[in-house]
Structure 1
Amino acid sequence: MLSDNQFPESIQQSLQIALDRFQEALNEAGLQARFDGLDEKLKQQLVTVFLASDYVADQLQRFPDLLFDLSDSGDLNSRISASAYNHRLQGKLSAVMDEPALSVVLREYRRREMVRIIWRDVTGLAEFAETASDLSHLADACIEQALCKIYQFVQPQWGAAYFKTTERVLPLVVIGMGKLGAGELNLSSDIDLIFAYARDGETRGGRKSLEHRDFFMRVGQKLIKALDENTAHGFVFRVDMRLRPYGSSGALALSFRAMERYYEEQGREWERYAMIKARAIGQDNGDGDRLLKLLKPFVYRRYVDFGVIESLRELKKLINQEVLRRGNEENVKTGAGGIREIEFIAQIFQLIRGGQDVDLQQRNLLQVMGIIRDLELLPANVVQSLSEDYVFLRNVEHRIQALHDRQTQVLPDSIEDRLRIALGLGYPDWDSFYADLKKVRTRVRTHFDSVIAVPQDQDEVEVLDQAVAVWVTEQTEQEASEDLTDLGFDEPLAALHLLTEFKNSRSVSHMQAVARERLDRLMPMLINACAQQACPGLTLERVLRLLESITRRSAYIALLAENPASLDRLAMLFGASPWVADTIARYPLLLDTLLNESTLLSPPDKDTLQHELRQTLLRIPEDDLERQMDALRQFKLAHVLRVAASELAETLPIMKVSDYLTWLAEILLQAVMELAWRQMVEKHGCPTRDNGEPCNPDFIIVGYGKVGGIELSYQSDLDLVFVHDGSSEGATDGEKSIDNSVFFTRLGQRIIHILTSKMASGSLYETDMRLRPSGNAGLLVSSLKAFEEYQKKQAWNWEHQALVRSRVVAGCPRLQEKYNALRLGVLAHRRDAVKLQQEVVEMREKMLGHLSTYKDLELNEARFGKDNQFDLKQDPGGIVDIEFLAQYLALRWTREHPQMGRWTDNMRILDSALEQGKLSQQQVAQLQNAYLQYRSQTHVLALQNSRAKVSAERFVEERRQVRQIWRETLS
């Protein structure tokens, strides 16, 4: 009878239950007698393994004969070479004739080897290096042998890929990234892969020829399914393809030429880090090695690249803030002093000196550390300390993951699980283990700080004695009022009331001691910063609303207190804009963005935005839609804040503000469409074109109004129309096939859901779909053919006016070209000039009747509305007048002057009108001047949380000029 009585009582009960279940499984399988004959040492190891791993316990309870297979073969007591993994799996797969059978054998093989690897790891028969390499060899074998079988399965249908000049078969090159590439997999690692092939061409020898790109994409998809699909037999390895060029939006496999061009032209700094560990998988990997040689100049500069230090310094700052904000202290990988910091230490030397000291061009971290020591880049004792601490932390990581076969590096909360980890690592109890863990992490953080040292970039912030006295000491009202007056508060009693109310609030009085100490350190600095603003009392009121929202999350208080030089900027933005203040108070995660001085006032260009979003989404599992949606919202909030801060600081003109906000919307819409597309295709397969080929994706999102006209503001909705170009009679090619029309409708619904769902970070965008053909009564998604027919035969003139400001903002480039041609054709349609003019005027009058405070189109100063205000958008002489003029000119003259229909934004339409002689230079200058002033004022008002109205005394001359041009053009 198996016994657990050598372990503490607190875990004996659950362990004994697991052992008893195993005994029951033995009895049911008739294996008890055979088990009784096993070596006593092995039985004792079994108890140790059950203590360490519920996963192994579960597998042996389900498949008790697995123990005898491993014991009889001697595999529990011996190391297995990389080639042995391949040969054994090859033998098991020899009789496999189809993909379902391949799936089963791979998963059975993985189960056996995972039990063996965990057994040897937790019993001390294998050290960390062996465990990591065994897991990597297992993954390599599964990838290589699965590919061999997949080639056999697809050859009759599609043939094989060849080099044009020879009969040598062209393989799918599989590049292992991250821990797989370095041969350092952990017990529950994903495998990060990139697929490539040597050159373009067509397959030969099958019933159907395919372009190499399509062939290798399909082979790659089958490989991913063979490894990643979670079946009744489990999975082999979770596969992550997001490190490939262009991330999830990129082709699954690229040619070597395309790969080289991407990294040469678009590769980012983080991709250099990733490519350090890249390795070609498989025994016949000559093509893969050739590819990595082509890419080596991207990773390793020829010169000593000290410029990389700055990026890692910034990364260190972000890590510190992330630990504070998320409370990541219990994560042995990403927390302070964790595995990641040791990896960064190695990588900084590789990236700085790897181009000259080629010995540093290694993948395995411990090997790199040895070279760093040999090159005397770090003292030998530091290298030894970091290497030993790395092994310690990786062993802790393995103990965490062995418990339940989960991909996590966070120390468990359960007292029982904590004790199991401590015992598994040779400690008598949790406290003694945790004390050593803290020492290790403290050492690592110390070395990390010294290697990636940040220069002192902040002067000590001077805190006036009066600010300290007001917050910290007990004062009379008179004394406090005098101090606040000295600081610069024009209404000291009101400011004192705000501070007293906040100080005595429930949220502050219930703060824990450490958090209160942080607040007491922060408040005098904040009082100082508020006092320097034009309206110190109002600024203080807004700042205190932020503090009220974060008192229970002291990490944010610490973040502010540890960035004292940033408080003046915070006070300036809060004083200037209630919208900024309200947004940050509602979403305190934006403090990270606010405090990043180097990027706050310099919004990135569109390409950088795309790569930043891609990098953000790379860190999230592809199947975790909720986290992806939340990440999209946080990304938007952070970048909108950067634009607002830049506008308030007057570092961005109005046109650039709208450009950035529009780019941001386009990038987010593209990401949303890709998320929705991937989910739909995974469930139903890919829709098809008229020729039977899969849509790729043959779907576009068309933006109208502000997003179409590149004129977004901070709170703009998105006017959208969805168009596809799939076959009207076709269906998707998946197992759960549906009609193309149903697929695209559901795709549109999913996009709207991702955009508009309310989450902790709000909604991404509100959408308005009423401009689609037939409005709310029409289909959510139109085919291109139906859209064209509607526009040419049924659309009203006002719908053609709207079409002027429409453009593709996300989706398929091929379909975008078709749409552009369609739009230009509709705009160039022959029109009756008098009727067009009449309909534009009538529509404007109709809008005035519903939306304007004015009684007629003419500027009668005696007829102001009740509030005596001018609506910048709707009233005569305002934005809509200018928009209608631009739309009229485009519809009236595009047939004769195609340039008039090219642009969707009003400024360039007016430029075109000047170029074609349809407006005078003076008219265009007056319209553009009024338009820019109006839009600038709407942005100012948006940042003040105000409606787009001003006193009727303002913009009188601009309105008069706009109305004069209206009469000259449309009368």
Structure 2
Amino acid sequence: YQMVAGGRDQTLRVPDTIGALAAINRKGWVDDDSKRVLEESYYKLRTWEHRVQMIRDAQTHAIPKVENEIVRMAALYGEDNLDKFLKEIKVTLEGVHKTTETFFATDKEDQVEYDTSFMEESDWEMVNNWRQLPAFRTERASKIFARLHPTIFNRLARSSHPREALLQLDGFLRRLPAGVQLFSLFEANQHLLELLVDTCAMAPRLASSLSNNTQVFDAVLEQNFIVPLEDEKVLEKTLCDGLDRASDFESVLRVARRWNNENNFKVGVHLLKGLSNCEQAGKSYARLANCVIKSLVPFVVEQFSSTYGPPPGRGFVFLAMGSLGAENLTSQSDLDLIMIYDPQEEEHSQGKRPLAVQVYYARLTQAMVSALSSQMAEGKLFEIDMRLRPSGRKGPVATSLNSFIHYHKNSAWTWEHLALTRARSLAGNEELGIEIEDFRQKLIHKLEDYPKIITDVIDMRRRLSENTPVEKKEDVWECRLGKGKLLDIELLAQAGALITNCMERDIGSQLLASSTKGLMTREEYEELSSHYSLLRQIMQVARLTVEGNFSPDTTGKGIIEILLQQTGMNSLETLRGKVQNQTENSKAIISDLIDNRWRKWADG
């Protein structure tokens, strides 16, 4: 158990055997009765070992075969009845064996029947071809996997759609570079194999990502896997502790990726198993992104500073924008970030290779983006989008505080002010972050050209509609693009936030502010809020489970069942009807508000 879990849990790294038994008992790996049997047996076996060594005056662990030596050993133990002594040895050894045998994998080829009634002839051909895959290149891997057949096929047979799950399992095995270690882990921990089969049945996209990140199964062995994610500060400390133990910068990036992969897998499994809902998953994914960015920044700065010197002036802040700013992500969300820095009076960095401050912070930004998005053996952390920075793609990747303030006071487009409604200081200099937040709030309070805001939003809606392909507009399951859908609701909510001086970043609170201030009725708020939540639920499930666009015609039935469970609908047709009806209602409400009532209110 120390080998299996001690690498992740330092409390199990106890040098003495009795102490280690107590530690794994506290963690729930060994029950109280097993702990008692093993402790008592350990003391007896150690005592007998010492008596044998005293008799033979040698480093030995073998029970004597000569009767007079056994008699002497028993006498040293305080037992004058030889038969009773030998029986006690036998009972002790059998007790240890019985207690420990369930943990160790066996090579015994048990003939266990399993259910393959769901399989067709082509399925058998596919299964028979598994032995040609890289994961089965060794005889040991093939033998272990053969012993896993009962668990695999019985679990498949019990799933709602076993043939779909079998096809996904086939894809998982084909992508595996090797199999012995993973198959051994499955044999010792059958619930991991059952989880894999369930994931194949319910979330093909998640299953496909597991092939290159099989180490995430280690996280399932932890006792707290079924417990919701900890508080953000606890998560951040856990990650930072792991990063601090890394030997170099590359190891830091690998540790961060492993940590993020494991926790993302946990959030996804909780959603699939109904342990959490879509809203909770969205917040959990955002919490993980927050922790990764905040924890990595000091290491990136340290690595960069070793060549170019420490950050000039007061340093910098990374602003979270978009869904990250609102702390509502999916498993596949890009992260919108902006870097703002304050060089004060400094013009260059102080290091072995000094840089002008603008170049310094531009390169530091690129270093951070690279740390987050570079492909490694453990994959990427996140894709980063910096288009929400001042002047978009045309502007520098890092912006000075003075330039940021001047730009938003004098030159920013309305869409950039809309984006600020969800801006949040995430990592960097805390004092600078507070100052930027103070500016954000004051700016929103001072924006009073409501006719311009509404005119620009009307124009944005028109251009978004013109640039959205017809097939996406007509696709019921396209959640983001099209009138009455996510981007349309977000545009309305952010415009309302500017008009009502709402400082909240999440869309629900921004819609509520518009209702509270009289910009829309309570009924309209409830309709838009309900529809926004429904579309987010569909998108959350789709991003976790399928590659590409979600379509019921090409999506497995297991995924449909998860979708219905999360949305509270009893059939796909009911859900389809609700989405269509609410989209039309939301489209009509938004058009009436922006094109008619808000426009008249602003002009009057």
Q: Supply the AA of the counterpart residue of 2:121.
A: L
1-side partners of 2:551 and 2:177: how far apart?
Answer: 38
Asked if the contact 2:500–2:513 (Cα under 8 Å) also holds between the matched residues in 1, the reply is no
Which of 223, 227, 237 is the equivalent residue of 1:611? 237
1-side partners of 2:286 and 2:47: how far apart?
Answer: 49
Asked if the contact 1:688–1:732 (Cα under 8 Å) also holds between the matched residues in 2, the reply is yes
Which of 511, 534, 543 is the equivalent residue of 1:910? 511
1-side partners of 2:47 and 2:381: how far apart?
Answer: 47
**Which residue number corresponds to residue 933 of structure 1?**
534
Does 1:919 find its partner at 2:520?
A: yes
2-side partners of 1:922 and 1:595: how far apart?
Answer: 47
How is 1:106-125 mapped onto 2 (pairs within 5 angstroms)? none
How is 1:429-440 mapped onto 2 (pairs within 5 angstroms)? none
Does 1:724 find its partner at 2:411?
A: no
Does 1:877 find its partner at 2:484?
A: yes
**Per-residue deviation, residues 846-897 of structure 1 (Å, max 9, x unmatched):** 0111124279xxxxxxxx64xx545211111101111011111011121xxx
Which of structures 1 and 2 has the larger relative contact order (alpha carbons within 8 angstroms, sep 6+)?
Answer: 2
Secondary structure at the aligned position of 2:15 is classed as helix
How is 1:357-396 mapped onto 2 (pairs within 5 angstroms)? 379=43, 382=46
Does 1:825 find its partner at 2:432?
A: no
How is 1:6-45 mapped onto 2 (pairs within 5 angstroms)? none
**Which residue number corresponds to residue 511 of structure 1?**
138
CA 1:833–1:344: 2 relative to 1, 3 Å: farther
2-side partners of 1:344 and 1:734: how far apart?
Answer: 51
Aligned-pair distance for 1:805?
A: 1.7
**Which residue number corresponds to residue 261 of structure 1?**
none
Which of 104, 120, 125 is the equivalent residue of 1:497? 125
Secondary structure at the aligned position of 1:828 is classed as helix
Aligned-pair distance for 1:551?
A: 6.6
1-side partners of 2:227 and 2:547: how far apart?
Answer: 24
How is 1:296-307 mapped onto 2 (pairs within 5 angstroms)? none
Does 1:566 find its partner at 2:198?
A: no
**Per-residue deviation, residues 481-531 of structure 1 (Å, max 9, x unmatched):** xx622xxx1x4334323212224x25366323x322211111222111111
**Per-residue deviation, residues 591-615 of structure 1 (Å, max 9, x unmatched):** 2234546414633331232122122
Unaligned residue ranges in structure 1 (runs of 5+):
1-312, 323-333, 354-375, 387-446, 468-482, 690-694, 856-863, 895-899
Q: Supply the AA of the counterpart residue of 2:362.
A: T
CA 1:839–1:511: 2 relative to 1, 3 Å: same
2-side partners of 1:383 and 1:850: how far apart?
Answer: 82
Work out the number of aligned pairs and report it: 510
How is 1:111-260 mapped onto 2 (pairs within 5 angstroms)? none
Identity of aligned residues (%): 22
Does 1:960 find its partner at 2:584?
A: yes
Does 1:636 find its partner at 2:253?
A: no
**Which residue number corresponds to residue 891 of structure 1?**
498
CA 1:766–1:708: 2 relative to 1, 3 Å: same
Which of 106, 111, 116 is the equivalent residue of 1:484? 116
2-side partners of 1:352 and 1:949: how far apart?
Answer: 46
Secondary structure at the aligned position of 2:426 is classed as strand
Asked if the contact 1:704–1:807 (Cα under 8 Å) also holds between the matched residues in 2, the reply is yes
CA 1:454–1:811: 2 relative to 1, 3 Å: farther
CA 1:317–1:737: 2 relative to 1, 3 Å: same
Secondary structure at the aligned position of 1:871 is classed as coil
1-side partners of 2:258 and 2:327: how far apart?
Answer: 22
Which of 518, 521, 524 is the equivalent residue of 2:150? 524
Asked if the contact 2:192–2:217 (Cα under 8 Å) also holds between the matched residues in 1, the reply is no
**Which residue number corresponds to residue 34 of structure 2?**
none
Aligned-pair distance for 1:937?
A: 0.3
Q: Supply the AA of the counterpart residue of 1:673.
A: V
Secondary structure at the aligned position of 1:711 is classed as coil
**Which residue number corresponds to residue 665 of structure 1?**
289
CA 1:705–1:889: 2 relative to 1, 3 Å: same
Asked if the contact 1:511–1:551 (Cα under 8 Å) also holds between the matched residues in 2, the reply is no
2-side partners of 1:935 and 1:784: how far apart?
Answer: 34
Q: Supply the AA of the counterpart residue of 1:318.
A: A
2-side partners of 1:383 and 1:826: how far apart?
Answer: 78
**Which residue number corresponds to residue 546 of structure 2?**
945
Secondary structure at the aligned position of 1:800 is classed as helix
Q: Supply the AA of the counterpart residue of 1:881.
A: D
**Which residue number corresponds to residue 767 of structure 1?**
384
CA 1:924–1:554: 2 relative to 1, 3 Å: same
Asked if the contact 2:372–2:381 (Cα under 8 Å) also holds between the matched residues in 1, the reply is yes
**Which residue number corresponds to residue 90 of structure 2?**
none
Secondary structure at the aligned position of 1:719 is classed as strand
**Which residue number corresponds to residue 141 of structure 1?**
none
**Which residue number corresponds to residue 144 of structure 1?**
none
How is 1:390-409 mapped onto 2 (pairs within 5 angstroms)? none
Asked if the contact 1:853–1:875 (Cα under 8 Å) also holds between the matched residues in 2, the reply is no
1-side partners of 2:5 and 2:462: how far apart?
Answer: 54
Unaligned residue ranges in structure 2 (runs of 5+):
27-39, 51-92, 553-575, 597-604
**Per-residue deviation, residues 166-198 of structure 1 (Å, max 9, x unmatched):** xxxxxxxxxxxxxxxxxxxxxxxxxxxxxxxxx
Does 1:342 find its partner at 2:15?
A: yes
**Which residue number corresponds to residue 476 of structure 1?**
none
1-side partners of 2:517 and 2:111: how far apart?
Answer: 64
Q: Supply the AA of the counterpart residue of 2:529.
A: Q
1-side partners of 2:133 and 2:591: how far apart?
Answer: 63
Q: Which has the larger radius of gyration?
A: 1
1-side partners of 2:41 and 2:339: how far apart?
Answer: 57
TM-score by length of 1: 0.49
Aligned-pair distance for 1:574?
A: 1.7
Aligned-pair distance for 1:728?
A: 4.8
Asked if the contact 2:330–2:544 (Cα under 8 Å) also holds between the matched residues in 1, the reply is no
Aligned-pair distance for 1:741?
A: 2.9
Q: Supply the AA of the counterpart residue of 2:259.
A: F
Does 1:776 find its partner at 2:393?
A: yes
CA 1:382–1:530: 2 relative to 1, 3 Å: same
* Bigger mean CA offset, 756-765 vs 586-595: 586-595
**Per-residue deviation, residues 894-929 of structure 1 (Å, max 9, x unmatched):** 1xxxxx1x1111012123333333332212211111
1-side partners of 2:489 and 2:138: how far apart?
Answer: 55
Asked if the contact 2:496–2:513 (Cα under 8 Å) also holds between the matched residues in 1, the reply is no
**Which residue number corresponds to residue 625 of structure 1?**
249
CA 1:496–1:595: 2 relative to 1, 3 Å: farther
TM-score by length of 2: 0.76
**Which residue number corresponds to residue 757 of structure 1?**
374
Asked if the contact 1:662–1:711 (Cα under 8 Å) also holds between the matched residues in 2, the reply is yes
Secondary structure at the aligned position of 1:933 is classed as helix
Asked if the contact 2:203–2:545 (Cα under 8 Å) also holds between the matched residues in 1, the reply is yes
* Bigger mean CA offset, 566-575 vs 341-350: 341-350
2-side partners of 1:384 and 1:606: how far apart?
Answer: 51
2-side partners of 1:601 and 1:564: how far apart?
Answer: 20
1-side partners of 2:195 and 2:178: how far apart?
Answer: 23
